[in-house]
Amino acid sequence: MSATLIALLYLAAGILFILALRLSPQPRTARPGLACSIAGLVVAILATFGLAAPSTGSSWLLVIGGIAVGGTIGATIARRIRMSGVPHLIAALQALTGLAVVLVAAAVLQAPDAFGLGKTGAVSPDRLTGMAIAAVLGAIAFAGSATAFLRLGGFIGAAPYRLPGQAPILVTLGVLILVLGIAFIAGGRPVLFWLTALLALPVGGLVTASFGRDDMTAAQFVLNACCGLAIAATGFLLGNLILILAGGLIGASSLSLAVRMDREGNRPFVSLLFGGDTAGASPKGDEPGQAETGQAETGP
Amino acid sequence: MSDLSPQQAIEQAEKLANKAQKAADAAAAHADALADALAAGGHAASGGAFDPVVLRISVFILAGFVGWYAVTPVASSLHTFVLALAAMLGSVIMVAGLIAVGIDVVSPLDDDGIRAKGFGFAALTLASIALFGGILVTRRLASVTRTGGG
């Protein structure tokens, strides 16, 4: 398949995603919105087969095996679960997505050569930046969604929980992540990559734990935004436009939805999330998405 | 040279062949790099004047604006449905999983490559769970929520 055709298919997928976001919040158009989002995902995935078709039989086997195993597990769980279990199933699926982002970044870290990004240790800083941001935001989304899963599933208490001295802990973690992340981008040492990702886990967990069960939907939208930005960072890492496009769309729309929900329900989650207590939760001041949260904060 | 035994000659020939192979690989890599540079240069000369990174950043920022303004206020009965849909869209990361599984591992001794493929396979599997699970759950939510268009 030619590169132009793939680019056009990616464009079509992007348009379908935009339509899905536009249509799905309204009761009358929710179903067409769902159809658009499924179609967009299918187009994006099929186009990717044209972009990076596995070149060997064993690769094909892995691709088909992975999709078959994952698809069977996902479909079985989604069918069997009771309606009351749906909210925490959604959180679990979000956690898996976050973990997948971290794994992709780790794959590129292991063998940048195979992705056409140069030998280990000679990867350009802009790619390493994408790798670091993907790992940090992916880990935050994973840990946060896992916490949401535990709370919604009733495995931990429904009431908000905060560590004593949570604010300074989060600030310390944020600063550490920032420093180690910059050190990783400068030198590309794998140890620093794993350390940054590990330090991001408690950030996601602690921030999410400070949301009570009733406010969890808003928190999940924010975690989804986090995941979206991580996907966009993966797009920068791989130089893949549909990941950047979809990641940006998911990130911004999820934030937007969270803020609108907040206005409707009069829930103080924006102050909860961006207030003094969790100032260290967003170490990436240079993220465009974060600039938008800044605007959102002054809005209401 | 005449005092070389046949065996030594074969060894030397093998060494030379290996060197030639390496040189060819290096040349191929250079050709790739050159082609990339030419493509970028041609792009710039043709008036596009785009560094691919600039293009990517533009797409990202525009996608951010579109995403921010595209969503309308959510009917409160649809909160869970829209959350499920937004989470389902995240399984587009499967694209990256596919790319990571599809990389070429040069030899069975290429540990890094095999590990990378393994990570890619795990990512692909997790993303597939999220994709299929997400689609089914979102459809179920659409069918139980009152969606007038249905």
Q: Which residues 175-214 in chain A show a CB within 8 A of chain B?
A: none
ipTM: 0.87
Q: B127 with B97: CB under 8 angstroms?
A: yes
Q: Does position B113 have pLDDT exceeding 80, yes or no?
A: yes
Query: How would DSSP label each residue in B49-90?
Result: ---HHHHHHHHHHHHHHHHHHHPPPPPGGGHHHHHHHHHHHG
CB nearest to A87's CB, from B80, B101, B105: B80
CB nearest to B149's CB, from A18, A32, A292: A32
Nearest CA in chain A to B138: A34
Calpha distance A6→A12 (Å, rounded): 10
Q: Is A87 on the interface with B (CB under 8 A)?
A: yes
Alpha-carbon gap: B37 to the closest alpha carbon of chain A (Å): 14
Q: Is B43 on the interface with A (CB under 8 A)?
A: no
Predicted local distance difference test score (pLDDT) of residue A286: 40
Alpha-carbon gap: A163 to the closest alpha carbon of chain B (Å): 28
Q: Is A51 on the interface with B (CB under 8 A)?
A: yes
What's the whole-number average pLDDT of chain B?
81
Write down the residue that tokens 């999410």 correspond to. Answer: A208
Q: Which of A55-59, A129-133, B76-80 has the highest mean pLDDT?
A: A129-133
Burial of B23 (0-12, 13-18, 19+ CB in 10 A): exposed
What's the whole-number average pLDDT of chain A?
86
Alpha-carbon gap: B13 to the closest alpha carbon of chain A (Å): 29
- Per CB-CB distance under 8 Å, the chain A contacts of B36 are none
**Side-chain half-sphere CA neighbours of B113 within 13 A:** 15
- Model pLDDT for residues A195-254, shown as the tens digit of each residue: 999 999 999 999 999 988 888 998 999 999 999 999 999 999 999 999 999 999 999 999
Q: What are phi and psi of A44, to 5 degrees?
A: -60, -40
Q: Does position B104 have pLDDT exceeding 90, yes or no?
A: no
Q: Is A11 on the interface with B (CB under 8 A)?
A: no
Alpha-carbon gap: B46 to the closest alpha carbon of chain A (Å): 17
> Are the beta carbons of B117 and A62 separated by less than 8 Å?
yes
Q: Which bin fits A181, alpha (ψ -120 to 50), beta or left (φ > 0)?
A: alpha
First to last CA, chain A: 48
Q: Is B96 on the interface with A (CB under 8 A)?
A: yes
Average pLDDT for A49-55: 84
Counted across chains A and B, CB pairs separated by less than 8 A come out at 362
Average pLDDT for A172-186: 95
Q: Is B16 on the interface with A (CB under 8 A)?
A: no
Predicted local distance difference test score (pLDDT) of residue A108: 95
Q: Which of A10-24, A41-55, A280-294 has the highest mean pLDDT?
A: A10-24
Calpha distance A27→A114 (Å, rounded): 46
Best residue in A254, A261, A264, A287 for a mutation probing chain B (most B CBs within 10 Å):
A254
Predicted local distance difference test score (pLDDT) of residue B150: 41
Q: Is B40 on the interface with A (CB under 8 A)?
A: no
